[in-house]
Amino acid sequence: MLPRILCSSLLCSALVLASGCSKPESDGAAGEPAKPEVEATQPTANGADAAPAAEDQGSAQAPESGVDYHSFANTGDYRVRHLDLDLTVDFDRKVLEGEAVLDFKRLTQKNPPMVLDTRDIKVEAVRAGHGGELKPVEFSMGKTDPDLGTPLNIQLPKKATRVAIRYQTSPAASGVQWLEPQQTAGGEHPFLFTQAQAIHARSFVPLQDSPQVRITYNATIRTPEELLAVMSANNDPKTEKDGVYEFEMPQPIPSYLLALAVGDLEFKPMGERTGVYAEPELLDSAAAEFEDTESMLEATEEAYGPYRWDRYDLLILPPSFPFGGMENPRLSFITPTVIAGDKSLVALIAHELAHSWSGNLVTNASWRDLWLNEGFTTYLTNRIMQNIYGDQRYRMEMALGYDDLQADLEDLDSRDEIMAIDLRGRDPDKVFSNIPYEKGSLFLYELEQKIGREAFDQFLLEYFNNFAFESITTEDFIEYLQQTLLKQYPDKLDEARIREWIFEPGIPEGAPQPQSDAFSKIDPVRQQWLDGEIAAKDIDTGEWTYHQWKYFLDGMPEELSDEQLEELDSAFNLTESTNNEIAFSWLMIAVRNDYQPAFGRLESFLTEIGRNKFLRPLYRNLVESGKQEMAAEIFEEAKPGYHPLTVKVNSRIIYGDDAQ
């Protein structure tokens, strides 16, 4: 989720906004091999003991593998396998209203209450039973946890295998954003989109909101007739706008990949299996920017096995989307901030596509194991970029990613430098940093370097096939390594070294350090300018890529004089840069040095874009530079257009950890 685009050291220093090898039985659910069920350490059925406070979990005892500490659901008693949704989208009241029907498997001979995850959902009625015979049953809401929401406790009839919940969401649902027409590109119609990762699906569907639970789903979505609904399912590019849309997702997915968007959308194909949905005003530019998506898809298939999700389309969201992209299967949600006009930011598309193998196909069983999603995906992203855009682009992506990782290591607590992170008692959204992304990728890069690329590619191909449509833990991965690479290459790989990467903070000594020759010529030029040996206007930037511009700006010293800032801006028009990544780097410099001519752009940047990758470090920079009042003024102006997650994250930066 939070998906990551290539970023520089200053940029990603604040990047956040983010199971069993054995198969004892098979229940035949969409071909998904059964996995060991969670034992008594799972939250209790009534939800009362589901979320121990942080101070109760701070012992030296490590988190138990396979336990999801961020779900109330008693998945050891019941396991949901399929979801049927029938929802009406009410833009006037800003609610989703309808019914969710859950088909589940019973895993115990006893009949405890079923516990589901919810957050700010109004449950109106619950029915349960077997097949089509569903009758009203008793239900209750448990104690609300500020991070986890509220457990829904349902009294089930004996032998029941289906439960239907009539409900409506809250206008302030954490996983739903409702946009007014003026907040869209067209300005005439409202827009809705959801964001379920990490645990926000429970704010718009009552369910077992844990990545270890995989479900298939069908959905009927009812909207105003002039709007189009799309989902993380089988969208038909030829669908006519009629106000009622039917969807099917036949492959089992975790709940964080449930996704819905509704707006004035049109479709344009980019290849046989790829296309883009966007508002009409953005459609052509998006299709041109991302026209290499089909080639990326084919290159990834060739190396790592077939694409198993039928189509791969993109949805371009309004700029308030809080992330770069979200890897919702069949339909990645993408920020418009990566439409630069020169394909310089399409690493994000490669990243979201790569999730079709690492994350969507093979999924982390809990948010502790996020590196299994994001480390593999970041590694694959770099390989895709190499295949499509060449070795130099690959080396630059790798080198800047390494810089991003070093920047995070300077700022994070040691406990947060561990790939298999302990998140007990914490909001799982806090897992998103460069540790699961770049440290995870660097670890895989070291394995590649030690055994050779051809052998490592074969390992990845077999890994994805072995765990296809499963949710696995870090320990499952280690066990798989023991059975494969550690046996095959005992002279090249060491399990102790692997465990150091995964369970210890920092980077192991002797780890590879990706470098790029494309940056070697930037350092002396920057230094010559800083020393006054060359004027900014005389620097030959004609052949510079976006990556080199980022490297040039992010390598500047903390303090620059007014004269230096004016010279840079005059020579390169940085304040008005149309590349959002370059503009961001420049605005970070401007804030630190109180460069007033850039503050108008700063305000428009913060109010027009909702992407947390940009907002978090800029607001933090304002506060740390003594401009808290300015930050608060801009934030309050922009807040009505921000996503709920964006408001939560940046409120804490501006007003402190106690901000609501």
Please give the positions annotated as active site: 352, 437
The span from the CA of 13 to the CA of 310, in Å, is: 36
The span from the CA of 535 to the CA of 128, in Å, is: 75
Q: Within 13 Å of residue 643, how many CA atoms lie on the same side as its CB?
A: 28
Q: What is the dihedral of CA 239, 245, 247, 253, to 10 degrees?
A: 110
What three-state secondary structure class fits 331?
A: strand
Cβ contact 488:464 at 8 Å: no
Q: Strands across the sheet with 162-168, in order?
A: 133-136, 122-130, 162-168, 95-106, 78-90, 214-222, 244-254
CA-CA distances (angstroms) from residue 325 to 195, 297, 345?
Answer: 10, 17, 12
The span from the CA of 457 to the CA of 196, in Å, is: 31
Amino acid identity at 152: L
Cβ contact 197:1 at 8 Å: yes
The span from the CA of 98 to the CA of 120, in Å, is: 15
Instruction: Give DSSP secondary structure letters for 607-631.
Output: HH---HHHHHHHHHHHHHTT-HHHH
Nearest by Cα to 273 from 241, 309, 242, 315: 309
Q: DSSP assignment, residue 269?
A: E
Q: How many Å from the N-terminal Cα to the C-terminal Cα in the chain?
A: 23
The span from the CA of 92 to the CA of 82, in Å, is: 30
Is the bond into 198 cis (omega within 30 degrees of 0)?
A: yes
Sequence-distant (6+) residues with CB within 8 A of 572 are: 536, 541
Cβ contact 231:205 at 8 Å: no
Long-range Cβ contact pairs of 264-272 (< 8 A, separation 24 or more): 264/184, 264/186, 264/188, 264/189, 264/191, 264/226, 264/227, 264/228, 265/227, 265/228, 265/230, 265/315, 266/228, 267/237, 267/313, 269/237, 270/294, 271/295, 271/297
Kindly tell me the sign of the dihedral angle through the C-alpha atoms of 565, 568, 571, 572.
negative
Residue 479, both tokens: 């066990």
